[in-house]
Amino acid sequence: MTQSPTTFAPIPARTARFRLTQRTRRIAILICLLLLPSVALRLFTAVYPFFNTIWLSFHDWNPAFPPQQFAGLKNFQALMRDIAVTSSISFTVLFVTISTLLEIVLGMAIALILHRAFFGRGVVRAINLIPWAIPMVVAAIGFRWMYDTQYGVINDLLYRTIGVKVPWLVDFWGARAAVIATNVWKSTPFVGLVLLAALQGVPQDLYEAGRVDGTNRVSAFFYITLPLIMPQIVTIGLFMVVWQLAAFDLVFAMTGGGPGFATQLLAYRIYQVAFTALNFGYASAISMVLFIVVGIASIIGLLLFRKVEVSL
């Protein structure tokens, strides 16, 4: 550590007088000072709440009736019997799986299109950024209006083209499909953006070599492009999974979890239990489920990433 080329190592005249220990101590203090604001922010708003949630999940606590009481595993036993919770877990997993798969496939298509040269490509690339940039609540409310069974434009377009109308947000599967479609609409361009950047990093001479060997465009994609950008696909996939597991705004503004519990996502359920029912202990237990699911997804993702990296 002492001979390492720190930025402050080559200060010949000033530091020569200090003994080694003094110098390292000064650097250590400097490091702490530089890290302090960030560490303090994260401890305060992410680490402390995380551990306190674990603690609270074993307690009964309604803020209207103050004393927290130890409840053991009661909250966890309750949530396993709670249909609102179990169905929100299964819909969350379904929502995240389908969304992520669609986002990667469609995002790849967008990336391949925007990678090619055509007139106006710059403008189209800029437009691709817009769904990422607009608020999820705006997308949710806009789509809710468009999905309106009677007056909605989506049903009108469907009726004009294929002659059917779907009772989108009042039907169990209709609502689920509508929520997932909106999420995919909002998030796919971002995946496309990342995959486009990945495509731009693939060296061109590989394709030329492939062309000499007589590969066509399809096999070039599957044998050159796809293996090379697999690490980025896995990274963005992991990102989308972890991020979407905590999705809240969409369902809050679009369906309120309905009809029934059809579109209750786990995060929305937590919010409901905590801030509508004011059942803080129980909400914390449900949060634990979310933490565990996110943890499992992260571990699978990281293992997958390592496997992809090694195979390259």
CA distance 113 to 235: 21
Which of 105, 256, 306, 309 is in the footprint of other proteins by CB under 8 A? 256
**Cα angle 10, 14, 16; round to 5:** 75
**Cα angle 189, 190, 191; round to 5:** 90
Q: Which is nearer to other proteins, 19 or 201 (CB)?
A: 201
189 in contact with other proteins (CB under 8 A): yes
Q: Which of residues 24-53 bind other proteins (CB under 8 A)?
A: 27-28, 30-31, 33-35, 37-39, 41-42, 44-50, 52-53
**Minimum separation from the CB atom of position 76 to other proteins (A):** 15
Rg (CA), the chain: 26
76 in contact with other proteins (CB under 8 A): no
CA distance 145 to 132: 20
Q: Which is nearer to other proteins, 71 or 136 (CB)?
A: 136
215 in contact with other proteins (CB under 8 A): no
**Do residues 265 and 98 make contact, with C-beta atoms less than 8 angstroms apart?**
no
Nearest to 187 by CA among 232, 139, 228: 139
66 in contact with other proteins (CB under 8 A): no
145 in contact with other proteins (CB under 8 A): yes
Q: Which is nearer to other proteins, 250 or 262 (CB)?
A: 250
Centre a 10 Å sphere on the Cβ of residue 307 and count the other Cβ atoms it contains.
11
DSSP three-state, residue 68: strand
136 in contact with other proteins (CB under 8 A): yes
Which of 58, 91, 95, 143 is in the footprint of other proteins by CB under 8 A? 143
Number of residues lying near other proteins (CB under 8 A): 99
69 in contact with other proteins (CB under 8 A): no
CA distance 238 to 183: 16
210 in contact with other proteins (CB under 8 A): no
- Which pair of structure tokens corresponds to residue 58? 């074993």
**Minimum separation from the CB atom of position 88 to other proteins (A):** 12
